[in-house]
Structure 1
Amino acid sequence: MSPPSHSPVIGWWQEREGQWIVYPLCSPGDSGKVTTVVATLGQGPERSQEVAYTDIKVIGNGSFGGVYQARLAETRELVAIKKVLQDKRFKNRELQIMRKLDHCNIVRLRYFFYSSGEKKDELYLNLVLEYVPETVYRVARHFTKAKLTIPIIYVKVYMYQLFRSLAYIHSQGVCHRDIKPQNLLVDPDTAVLKLCDFGSAKQLVRGEPNVSYICSRYYRAPELIFGATDYTSSIDVWSAGC
């Protein structure tokens, strides 16, 4: 597939190892401009298509890269774009896992594409995800600041959906390994919860050692604290109970 010349492209492409790499000419600060990329569908067969987005703004950042909010030009749908530095020597585990997951309580991967970095030969993977505005962490903090207790119905609804998502990923052999309120997205209008951030997730294989220094500190299961490397997906259940 060749990059089209008839679209309002803010950038240029180069093919590298079977993937089209976009070199955007506008930065996240140019929020009103339209950026068009050749992206691959998040689920199903690997099929590429043009995706244009605009109204870009930063909503999070960390050592992994950054998270941006954007709006798809065609549908006007809000999306979140997680941009992570990609090691060219390896496949991205988060991408591989998210492409196989399909559940109403897991944030959906819409598209993915690659982009260049500021440094030479720097490559970024961009995960285009459905946008969910709130997190359980921010909801809980809101009630705490107001010196109120979270209504028990919220607790029941959120926990039910969290364990539905865990039951599903565990049935697929996937352990999330970073369950915490910040990774539980919530739509305040519908109370729908979606599990996100599979950057630490792994397909566990019986007998294969795993790193023990995983999970955020306050949600880390006892076996991880004691350095176990042969653990199971039950560490997610412990984290959920915290």
Structure 2
Amino acid sequence: MNKYDVLGVVGEGAYGVVLKCKNKDTNEVVAIKKFKESEEDEVVRKTTLREVKILRIMRHENIVQLKEAFRRKGKLYLVFEFVEKSMLDILEANPNGVDTETVRVLTCQLARAIEYCHRHDVIHRDIKPENLLINPADNALRLCDFGFARTMSADTPLTDYVATRWYRAPELLLGSTHYGKDVDIWAVGCIMGELTDGQPLFAGESEVDQLFVIQKVLGPLTPEHMEMFLRNPRFLGIQFPDVSRPETLEKRYLRRMPKLQMQLLKGILVMEPRRRLSAREMLRMPWFEAVQGLGCRV
């Protein structure tokens, strides 16, 4: 840390702290993620090493750039490019949502970041406003925090508890350990909705409430989901109220969402994971045709 001056604290989490720093030699401002635990904690060590390994192969303009990683006194430090704001800051400043063009530009960049991850067999698993960094000058977006990210390998069970509840796909809420890239796609739909009117699309107060809130808008769970629900001891004895007449996404965003945006959202927020659009298919949707200079067409 000798070559950096600490300018302030950007954020804190269970893992440690993110500091805003300046390189004494170059005057470049960077963000440094300093991990709390020393190497002795095996779980933390494995998680951080996995994050570093994934970040080292991620080279894309919509993914935060890892500049270097080093250790001091047993603690790990990751040095990233510094980005001024997060999407959470943008949402807090715009409680009724942002204009359609901004939604389109930000969603397009997020889709590009996800398409790149998925093409390299990486699932992010924790897409939420705090993990989307935005430069207010030009709305350039960077996906960050790969602490929960995993590389896909055939038939390896994955952990069921990932992603902040509001952005979690139904299969994650139901405890599946054989989900896929589709969980990231679901989160993109939730982000798109929240940017549109400033409100989280599915703001459940618990896992079971989250499942109910989703069904109130999209209709009942699939038979496969229902089977998982009945098998999961966490939900023993719980029944859902009647959701045969859902609110629908159209009603939810009446007069707030252009037709082509709604077409995309409906292709993303599909209960059946295999029927959700892939990131590549998302980028080919007509809604992105008008976005210039961001490489949104593939």
- Scaled to the shorter chain, the TM-score interval is 0.7 to 0.9
- Is the counterpart of residue 108 in structure 1 residue 56 in structure 2? no
Pairwise mapping of residues 75-94 of structure 1 onto structure 2 (< 5 A)? 75-84=26-35, 85-88=37-40, 89=42, 90-91=45-46, 92-94=49-51
The number of residue pairs the alignment matches comes to 184
**Amino acid of the residue matched to residue 237 of structure 1?**
I
- 2:164 is aligned to 216
- Is the counterpart of residue 124 in structure 1 residue 87 in structure 2? no
More strand by percentage: 1
Mapped to 1, the partners of 2:7 and 2:57 lie a distance apart of 27
**Amino acid of the residue matched to residue 189 of structure 1?**
A
Aligned pair partner of 2:140 in 189, 192, 206: 192
1:218 aligns to what SS in structure 2? helix
Question: Deviations along 1:35-84, whole A, 9 cap, x unmatched?
Answer: 42xxxxxxxxxxxxxxx111432121121110100011122111000012
Aligned pair partner of 2:12 in 39, 58, 61: 61
Deviation at 1:86, TM superposition (A): 4.7
Mapped to 1, the partners of 2:187 and 2:38 lie a distance apart of 28
Deviation at 1:103, TM superposition (A): 0.2
2:183 aligns to what SS in structure 1? helix
TM-score with structure 1 setting the length:
0.73
**Amino acid of the residue matched to residue 135 of structure 2?**
D
Mapped to 2, the partners of 1:164 and 1:175 lie a distance apart of 14
1:178 aligns to what SS in structure 2? coil
- 1:137 is aligned to 88
- Is the counterpart of residue 97 in structure 1 residue 54 in structure 2? yes
1:167 aligns to what SS in structure 2? helix
CA contact (8 A) 2:6 2:19 kept: no
1:153 aligns to what SS in structure 2? helix
- Is the counterpart of residue 238 in structure 1 residue 189 in structure 2? no
Mapped to 2, the partners of 1:67 and 1:78 lie a distance apart of 13
**Amino acid of the residue matched to residue 117 of structure 2?**
I
Runs of 4+ in 1 over 6 A off after TM superposition: none
TM-score with structure 2 setting the length:
0.60
Aligned pair partner of 1:169 in 85, 94, 117: 117
Question: Deviations along 1:64-112, whole A, 9 cap, x unmatched?
Answer: 1101000111221110000123545554110110011100000000011
Query: Structure 1 residues 55 and 65, CA, compared in 2 at 3 Å: closer, same or farther?
Result: closer
More helix by percentage: 2
Deviation at 1:124, TM superposition (A): 1.6
Identity among equivalent positions (%) equals 38
Deviates more, 1:56-65 or 1:101-110: 56-65
Deviation at 1:233, TM superposition (A): 1.0
**Amino acid of the residue matched to residue 50 of structure 2?**
R
Deviation at 1:149, TM superposition (A): 3.7
Q: Please tell me the root mean square deviation across aligned C-alpha atoms, in Å.
A: 1.3
Runs of at least 5 residues in structure 1 that lack an aligned partner in the other structure: 1-34, 37-51, 117-122
Deviation at 1:137, TM superposition (A): 1.2
